[in-house]
Structure 1
Amino acid sequence: MCRIAAYSGPSIPLENIIVRPKHSLLEQSQHASEAKLAVNGDGFGIAWYDQDEAPGLYRDVLPAWADGNLTSLCRMVRSRLFIAHVRASTVGETSRQNCHPFSYGRWSFCHNGQVPHFPAIRRRLEAALPDHLYGARGGSTDSEMIFLTLLANGLADDPNTAMAKTLEQIGEGREPVKLTCVFSDGQTLFGFRYASKGKAPTLYASDTLDNGGLAFASEPLDGDKWDEVPQGKIVELGALKTRQAA
């Protein structure tokens, strides 16, 4: 399973979430404690927002701990909202196109989980995409397909309805669908957990950080208060709202 960390609040260096905490995302890339796999070494990526509507994007196939540029980048780049992801692949080869986060327009998205019956529904989901989203697909993962399907289902207008429609299109297979994702339009940071059976992959929301910001993380980054995101509800950081989505 992959690991995620994301932040919304006053502008900070990326390293304050990705590198410096005791159990940072970089630490989780090698020593995850709430996942089936402790090591997440099949690539990483960051999407961050500044003044432009569309996010900046940096992704690579190297394990996060093996990229000598990552810590320097995270020290120098500041952002008011960003999403970071380290990958343990389940669907799709290890390639830059399959590394998260994915972006389209002002939206960015990353995912932890799996749609086990994805090969059986891939063609149907592809056929349901409008041409502009079908043409935007660069990789082969179930994760990117979930993102594009959310966009096709009206993510920009109503995340709750888009998520419910997307889950309906995915349906169920012999093994449970498990989906934990974090996504943003550059203004609001959304987190969501879902499992068709059993427990969804972990995601926590922080209490207010010492700078007034808020964060999502697959595992708590430090000793501050972190609350597990409830299954089936979209949580919005900033307003701390929840929306029923499944």
Structure 2
Amino acid sequence: MCRWAAYLGDAIFLEDVIAAPSHSLIVQSSQAREAKSPTNADGFGVAWYGDRPEPGLYRDVLPAWSDTNLRSLGRQVKSGLFLAHVRASTGGLTSRANCHPFVSGRWSFMHNGQIGGFEKIRRALENSLSDTLFEQLEGTTDSELFFRVMLGEGLAQDPQGAVSRATGRVLEAARRAGIEPFLKLTAAFSDGRALHAVRYATDDQAPTLYTAAFARGVGRCIVSEPFDRDGRTWHEIPQSSFVTMTRDTTSIRPFAPATSRWALAS
């Protein structure tokens, strides 16, 4: 599955996470240690926040280790909030539209995991979207569709509740399709102010998630797997947890699926 890293704090160069550390995200694209496969070569992407509300976005289908533009971008771009992702596809073509992060207005989203039986419930999930959200779909991944479902469940007003209801919607769609619900959800998302993350799986085997203070206390990062083991204490986020990180605080709360408005209306 995929690897990702997110950062919130004082502005740093992107390369400080994606390239400079001994086990940076670029290294993890070919040598991941805590994923089923060490190789994450189906594209990459970075979303970062600057002076404007909407994030900047750079994605491509090349493996992260082979894209010199990514290294150059990392040396020049500074941000106090960014999300970076290297992809190992569990479904969907290798295309720029299928690379994470995905964006909508102020929001950016990236995911490590999968929706089991996705092709059997995809149409039902798409049909539950508003016309506006359906028209925003660019790719074919379960990850992007889950993000649009989150938006429809009130992400702007209630981030944790929206993810909880979106999770419930996926599980309900699987039950209606006559298949055993299966979801692995380790994701990060942001509106440019706070950074949120969730770690959940129906089989209690969610992909890994860690957090740590950044060097010299300038901020905090949250990652799929540590990008170094030297001079930094990494804390594993428990399964079934929801994380909210601001520039001043980090909270970790229990997470569980909830009944979505879609299920209630049926």
Secondary structure, aligned partner of 2:103: strand
Matched, 1:202 2:202: no
Aligned residue in 2 for 1:144: 144
Matched, 1:242 2:248: no
Instruction: Output one character per residue of 1:104-149: Cα deviation in whole Å (capped at 9) or x when no partner.
Output: 0000000000111111111111111111110000000000001000
CA contact (8 A) 1:207 1:227 kept: no
CA contact (8 A) 1:7 1:214 kept: yes
The residue identity in structure 1 corresponding to 2:110 is C
Gaps of 5+ in 1: none
CA contact (8 A) 1:98 1:139 kept: yes
Aligned residue in 1 for 2:233: 225
- Is the radius of gyration larger for structure 1 or structure 2? 2
| RMSD, aligned α-carbons | 1.2
Runs of 4+ with deviation above 6 angstroms: none
- CA shift for structure 1 position 179: 0.9
Cα distance in 2, alignment partners of residues 244 and 175 from structure 1: 20
Instruction: Output one character per residue of 1:59-101: Cα deviation in whole Å (capped at 9) or x when no partner.
Output: 0000001111111100000001000000000110000000000
- CA shift for structure 1 position 228: 1.1
Cα distance in 1, alignment partners of residues 225 and 110 from structure 2: 15
CA contact (8 A) 1:202 1:218 kept: yes
TM-score, normalised to structure 1, is 0.97
- 1:12-91 equivalences under 5 Å are 12-91=12-91
Instruction: Output one character per residue of 1:201-244: Cα deviation in whole Å (capped at 9) or x when no partner.
Output: 01111135324210011111112111111222211123211233
Aligned residues: percent identity?
51
TM-score, normalised to structure 2, is 0.90
- 1:149-228 equivalences under 5 Å are 149-171=149-171, 173-174=179-180, 176-223=182-229, 224-228=232-236
CA contact (8 A) 2:183 2:202 kept: yes
State the number of aligned residues: 246
**Which stretch shifts more, 115-124 or 86-95?**
115-124
**Which stretch shifts more, 74-83 or 169-178?**
169-178
CA contact (8 A) 1:160 1:244 kept: no
- CA shift for structure 1 position 37: 0.5
Going from structure 1 to structure 2, the CA distance change for 1:165 and 1:106 (only over 3 Å counts) comes to same
Going from structure 1 to structure 2, the CA distance change for 1:118 and 1:163 (only over 3 Å counts) comes to same
CA contact (8 A) 1:54 1:107 kept: yes
- CA shift for structure 1 position 191: 1.1
- CA shift for structure 1 position 198: 2.9
Cα distance in 2, alignment partners of residues 230 and 184 from structure 1: 20
